Structure 1
Amino acid sequence: MSTCKLIRTILVALALAFTALTPAVAQKQPQNGLLWEISGRNMTAPAYLFGTIHLYDTSTYQLPQPPFELLEKTGRVYFELDFGKINMAEMSAGMFITDTSQYINKLLDPVSLARLNKLLEGSASAKMLGDRVYTIKPLFVSVMLLGNEKTSSVDLELYKAAMSGKHAVGGLETVKEQMEAFNTMSIAAQTEALRQFLSNDLSGQEILSKMTAIYARQNITNMLKELEQFMPLDANTSETLVNKRNIIMTDRIDSLLQQQEHPLIAVGAGHLGSDAGIVELLRKKGYTLKNIPFTIKKAHE
């Protein structure tokens, strides 16, 4: 793989993955399930909402099959981003540190930096980036540490299936909007979050396996709280990265549905649960959401 293609792959994966590590907000009634049927509001056919995870360990669990099956039924899928229309220059500008005094290797304490370097030794992506890895913003570096040859992305696999089947694809957000949300957190605060991440004794593979198991349980009420153990973030960051984006995406989903589109909508599972999640926000707009239960199989079942 060329360095250019590698960096493109890294940037897309990192931009997607960070939402999975944001903290939870309170919810009065539990919600469970990753797949939801949307009806009501004079819709002539149902649409579907599916909660993805952006980094997924295929050595422990198979990819969830229902969303792939729904592609044939809906013929159209919307992700957080339309992967075919990503402006890499725009994404790169939002993910790299421009102030040389803020590079990760200059801000981390010696113990944390040594831990980071040890973990990066097992990352093929980091090896190809070389010292440029220290110029990537800390939150995205933490996500890079989770990747290996068995790492997949439910979003990207679903996108590839949609393109292979010649299904229509769209995005609910733009790269600019996502980068602006991520970059509301200062480099100093991101570095502290990375330091806490590095204080965990687990390897990147062990963390990824635990995250995948949490996702497979489909408890969207507690999912973010469980994931928060790997990278705790403050409430203000959660408000920007999750709650405000939930409102924007819900409004855009509503617009699509009122135009009588009946797509599959695939966004990070962290956006579904809680009173501020997309499931409840769509209900408040008058839609009926019904969970469609299914089981995610283990890798060797």
Structure 2
Amino acid sequence: MNFKTSFTRLAARYLGIVGLSLACAGINVQAQAQTAKEDTAKGVLWEVKSAGNTAYLFGSIHLAKASFYPLPEAVENAYKQADTLVVEVDTSDPRAAEKAMPFFTYTAPDKLENHITKKTWEDLQGMVGAASAQLQVLKPSIVATALSVGVFKQQGFDAGKGVDLHYMQKAKQDKKDIVSLETMEFQANVLAGLSDEDGDAMLAQTLDGLKNGDLLRETNGMINAWKAGDAEALTKILQDAASKDAGSRKVMKLLLDDRNPGMVEKISGMLEGGKKLFVVVGAGHMSGPNSITELLQKKGFEVKLIK
């Protein structure tokens, strides 16, 4: 699973280690990347209607660039009409992140090496060198996420410029209500709760993706699809990533499909209650089978992609 959710904000705490390690390993992601045009991003925006009330759903990317702003007028108008901003989780609260961190770590003498295969451990050592010792405290899923975030960071993407954080900051200034669909602890438990087998598969796939360039290509493809407002292309990239093997399908299901119904229940409840919503959730949740938009349609809401 390479399209980042808000788990990435927790992983970003370790980017000092990971970024240095990638540089020492001679992996120059920036030089390999096909740089996208530095222009304003379009993003993916849906309109949802029910009984005379209208909400807007905007697919977020959690690491972005200053050049993506301002977002299109349609997106800004969708935000302005809302009295309530709805996000996955309030990642602007550092205390929430601190509470979640124990989910991602092992207590000594336990360590990462005990929970992954010998091959995966050796591949990680080969990738990050001596820094692998500093990663021993972390669970494989957070190491995989941090490595993936490193690909974004080396291309100039910044969690501080993420779309969800951008609108949370605006909503606080504008004194709008902010509602979280999940807690940081819940999200952390989902990712950290992977079995050793699934965690190993996630880390091994990430390491392979770094070596063969798939991770970079998928990252660029997803960012470009989001910037172009191409929901179909974004869906295809995610589906292709999930269909690589059984482990990929399982992780994708855990991180996206299994969480979407709970989000939909909360969104539909607020919409039916008359709230004027601007919902900013990771773009991976928004399109394709079992997505938030599909589930809302099945509940009888009128859902339209704004192009």
TM-score by length of 1: 0.71
TM-aligned CA distance change 1:12 to 1:258, over 3 Å: farther
**3-state SS of 1:233 partner:** helix
* 1:95 counterpart = 2:104: yes
Deviations 1:256-290 (A, max 9, x none): 11110011011111112233111111111111011
Aligned in 2, Cα 1:229/1:277: closer, same or farther, shift over 3 Å? closer
Number of the residue aligned with 1:218: 231
**Change over 3 Å in CA distance of 1:252–1:10 after alignment to 2:** closer
Which amino acid counterpart does residue 139 of structure 1 have in structure 2? S
Amino acid at match of 1:199: D
Counterpart contact for 1:77–1:266, Cα < 8 Å: yes
Instruction: Choose from 76, 83, 88 the match for 2:84.
Output: 76
Shift in alpha-carbon separation, 1:93–1:288, aligned structure 2, 3 A: same
Structure-1 residue corresponding to 2:30: none
Provide the secondary structure at the position in 2 that maps to 1:239: helix
Report what 2:71 is aligned to.
Answer: 65
Residue pair 2:297, 2:303 contacting (<8 A) in 1 also: yes
Letter in 1 for 2:85: V
CA shift, 1:180, in A, is: 2.7
The 8 Å contact of residues 285 and 291 in structure 2, kept in 1 or not, is answered as yes
Structure 1 alignment gaps of length 5 or more: 1-7, 15-32, 122-129, 294-301
- Which residue, out of 270, 282, 286, partners 2:284? 270
Maintained 8 Å contact 1:207/1:230: no
Match of 1:48, SS state, is strand
* Identical amino acids, percent of aligned pairs: 25
| 1:186 correspondence with 2:195 | yes
The answer on 1:255 being equivalent to 2:269 is yes
More helix by share: 2
Structure 2 partner of 1:28: none
- Structure 2 residue matching 1:87: 3-state secondary structure: helix
> How many residues are matched?
255
Instruction: Check whether the contact 1:91–1:175 (CA below 8 A) recurs between aligned residues.
Output: yes
SS in 1 for 2:258: helix
Q: CA deviation at 1:173?
A: 0.9
Report the secondary structure of 1:169's partner residue: strand
CA contact (8 A) 1:79 1:266 kept: yes
**Residue aligning to 2:183:** 174
Please give the per-residue CA displacement for 1:32-85, whole angstroms capped at 9, x wherever unaligned.
Answer: x82111112x23x311011112234x39x7257143443222142111112355
User: Secondary structure of 2:199's match?
Assistant: helix
